[in-house]
């Protein structure tokens, strides 16, 4: 009988502590790490694509460079953008010069409904990179280009994210054209203001 009474009292005390909590205790944290590019396991959660899948000659990689300095590890998305086409290709491409990385499907969904901003810690090379992220001004993209589509984003059911680069286009002043690209990526976080 004393074990039951002890368990009952412990349960009542835990319930009282939970009820004394504040509204802030029920809110999710102000930031949530979605991806941290600091290990080979994290890098393996991404799939690379390029126009080479369709007859282009662009290439991409996502790696964590070996460092002996003890500096924090950071992912590097790099490669080469080419406007040329493989003459032997059976695809009839009209445009080339794009590469990207897309997260593999989450195990279920990731719920970002409590957050209003996506932040990325990056070090770029002057090129314009496009990301499909759940913001109020979300822009759907395909193969490095923004597409016109009337889509509604459901931030509580995110299935993946992507980051791409295109040899042509971008914001004024950004580096364009064929050639090498390199983007260091530390993390992607969801933030709540």
pLDDT of residue 18: 64
Rounded to 5°, the CA angle 44-47-50 comes to: 140
- Per the document, the length of the chain is 193
pLDDT digits (tens), the chain, 193 positions:
566 666 677 777 766 666 666 655 567 788 999 999 999 999 999 999 999 988 899 999 999 987 777 677 899 999 999 998 888 777 777 778 999 999 987 777 888 888 888 899 999 999 999 886 755 555 666 655 666 766 666 777 787 888 999 998 778 889 999 999 999 999 999 988 7
Which numeric CATH code is attached to 24-191? 2.60.120
CA triple 62-65-69, angle to 5 deg: 155
pLDDT of residue 152: 67
């Amino acid at each position: 009988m004393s074990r039951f009474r002890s368990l009952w009292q412990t349960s009542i005390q835990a319930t009282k502590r939970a009820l004394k909590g504040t509204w802030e205790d029920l809110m999710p944290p102000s930031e949530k790490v979605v991806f941290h590019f600091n290990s080979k396991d994290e890098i393996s959660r991404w799939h690379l694509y390029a126009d080479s899948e369709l007859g282009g000659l662009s290439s991409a990689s996502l790696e964590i460079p070996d460092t002996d300095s003890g500096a924090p590890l950071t992912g590097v998305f790099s490669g080469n953008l080419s406007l040329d086409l493989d003459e032997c290709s059976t695809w009839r491409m009209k445009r080339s010069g794009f590469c990207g990385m897309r997260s593999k499907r989450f195990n279920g969904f990731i719920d970002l409904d409590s957050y209003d901003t996506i932040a990325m810690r990056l070090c770029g090379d002057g090129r314009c990179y496009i990301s499909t992220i759940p913001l109020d001004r979300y822009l759907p993209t395909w193969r490095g280009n923004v597409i016109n589509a009337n889509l509604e984003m459901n931030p509580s059911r995110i299935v993946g994210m992507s980051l791409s680069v295109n040899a042509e286009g971008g914001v004024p002043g950004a580096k364009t054209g064929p050639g090498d690209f390199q983007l260091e990526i530390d993390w992607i976080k969801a933030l709540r203001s």
